[in-house]
Amino acid sequence: MKVGSNLEKVLADGHFAVTAELGPPQSADGDLIRSKTKHFRGFVDAVNITDNQTAIVRMSSIATAAILATEGLESVIQVTCRDRNRIAIQSDLLGAAALGIRNVLCLSGDHQSFGNHQGSKNVYDIDSIQLISIVRSMRDEARFASGDEIKVPPSMFIGAVANPFADPFEFRVIRLAKKVAAGADFIQTQAVFDVPRFQEYMGMVRDRGLDQKVAILAGIIPVRSVKALAYMKSEVAGMSVPDGLIQRMASAAAPKAEGIKITVELIEQVRQIPGVRGVHLMPVMWESSIPTVCEDAGLLPRPAPAGLSSVPEATRASATTPENLSIPTS
């Protein structure tokens, strides 16, 4: 066990893991976050907190994760390379670890032209693969990117993203291999709608033996309307949505129920693919679908949560660790 986070433990114990995404509010409203915990507690192994997703300013990932920690939920903080340089990122990781956060997902980040502050300067001091290598050397070698020693290193379970549906297709597995070589422990993929293509991708992954080195969680987006699905098909770069699914949603008498049905089917299909160790749910503005999806897909009950009290010795050295937060023990 490298870190001892709940997500790591669930995977290490051989369970099919379930993570789900929570988008923080575009405001300082902490209560809104607290009100959403009921959709996650007991249904998922860890909650992903996005980092200014689509370059729209939202409450910071780490702050949101800290709030969730007080509610007894484990988080996966997301860190993009768009807004922060290596100094700020390493600083944030030290703080996150001190707050008891133990999973981090490393991403490039959507370009700022998508968001609400399009004129902002584009940082990209490092890219996502370099970021993974930095987190790994902070954790395993207790060293900053500069080479300086870290007395109490942050212990993080390192995640990365993979997009089997973007181009160039053949290159996607090479990129995955680079992320694994850089230190990725787990992968969350872009949403799977096109199962055959995902199967093809996983075949290439297995050919390289990458499924043995990293835990891959298939991304799933529960869809509530044909409009949402069609939007993803035409407007979101890097997504592949079969027309058949659009037709199903279009002709459905009860779109939300049909959407849940499709989601459950997709989960069942990806679960059959060798090398897929879990699913990552991304219910855009529909967190309330999580309990139903997990129930119908036979993903419940979740293994008992490891709890924040099982933080490894190294990060407990200072006084600012989780003892100060009230967390239910498992």
Partner 1 sequence: MIIAEQKPFQSIVENLAGYNRVLILGCGTCVTVCMAGGEKEVAVLAEQIRLYQRELPEEDRYQIVEATIERQCDREFFAPVEELIKDSDCVLSMACGVGVQHISEHFTDKIVIPALDTKFFGATEEPGTWVERCAGCGSCILDLTGGICPVARCSKSLFNGPCGGSQEGACEISRDVECAWQLIYDRLKTLGRLDSLEKMIEIKDWTTARDGGPRKVVREDVKA
**Number of residues located near partner 1, criterion CB under 8 A:** 36
Q: Does 141 bind partner 1 (CB under 8 A)?
A: no
Q: Does 316 bind partner 1 (CB under 8 A)?
A: no
- Would you say 200 or 268 has its CB closer to partner 1? 200
For residues 325 and 302, give the distance between their C-alpha atoms in angstroms, rounded to a whole number.
24
Query: Site for partner 1 (CB under 8 A): which residue of 21, 51, 74, 110?
Result: 110
Q: Does 168 bind partner 1 (CB under 8 A)?
A: yes
CA angle centred on 279, ends 277 and 283, rounded to 5°:
170
For residues 193 and 232, give the distance between their C-alpha atoms in angstroms, rounded to a whole number.
11
Query: Site for partner 1 (CB under 8 A): which residue of 182, 187, 220, 262?
Result: 182
- Residue at token pair 């922060």: 84
What amino acid is encoded at 80 in this protein?
Answer: T
Shortest spacing between CB 107 and partner 1, in angstroms: 8
Q: Does 209 bind partner 1 (CB under 8 A)?
A: no
CB-CB neighbours of 167 under 10 Å: 10
- Report CA torsion sign: 140, 145, 147, 153: negative
Q: How many residues does the chain have?
A: 330
- Which residues from 43-102 bind partner 1, rule CB under 8 A? 81-82, 86
Q: Does 116 bind partner 1 (CB under 8 A)?
A: no
CA contacts within 13 A on the Cβ side of 248:
18
Q: Show the tokens assigned to 257.
A: 């129920």
Q: At what angle do helices 289-296 and 255-271 cross, to 10 degrees?
A: 50
- Would you say 33 or 239 has its CB closer to partner 1? 239
Query: Site for partner 1 (CB under 8 A): which residue of 76, 97, 106, 126?
Result: 126
Shortest spacing between CB 284 and partner 1, in angstroms: 16
Shortest spacing between CB 207 and partner 1, in angstroms: 15
Q: Show the tokens assigned to 327.
A: 């967390």
Q: Does 231 bind partner 1 (CB under 8 A)?
A: no
**Footprint on this chain of partner 1 (rule: CB under 8 A):** 81-82, 86, 108-111, 113-114, 122, 124-130, 133-134, 145, 161-163, 166-168, 171, 174-175, 177-178, 181-182, 190, 237-238
